[in-house]
Amino acid sequence: MSRMLIGVDWGTSSLRVARIDRAGDATEERAAPNGILSVAPGGFPAALADVCGDWLRSRDALVLVCGMAGSQQGWMEAPYCPCPAGFADIASHLKWVEPGRIAIVPGMSCGHDGMPDV
């Protein structure tokens, strides 16, 4: 049996979650207007559970969180991963909130004439 994958896009003004099947297709999606700026310090686990707590009850679920949740104001800062990068590079830059279960996916950065582009 494969693990349930939950993809999370957590921006400044909204939270979007999706259950993703083995083919990479979203089988169910949910959204809420509680972006990172509306979440109190320490409140990220509860805010996520408010939207998809029933999915999180599956202890084998893998939750990958992207977006502003990885910023300094977010759940946990995940510094940018420099380009070019492959899957192994990105995986090595994951910030595990709950090891093996919930991770913050880093953004990507590319240098251009010595200036970062993210």
Fold for domain 5-117?
Nucleotidyltransferase; domain 5 (3.30.420)
- If you write DSSP's letter for every residue of 70-84 in order, what string do you get? GSTTSSS--PPEESS
List the chain domain ranges: 5-117
Q: Which of 12, 11, 98 is nearest to 56 (CA)?
A: 98
- Confidence band (pLDDT; 50, 70, 90) for 117? low
Query: Which whole number is the average pLDDT over 85-89?
Result: 95
Burial of 101 (0-12, 13-18, 19+ CB in 10 A): middle
Give long-range contacts, CB 8 A cutoff, 24+ apart: 91-96: 95/70
List pLDDT tens digits, range 105-115. 999 998 776 66
CA angle 86, 70, 75 (to 5 degrees): 140
pLDDT digit string (tens) for 2-52? Answer: 789 999 999 999 999 999 998 999 999 999 999 999 999 999 999 999 999
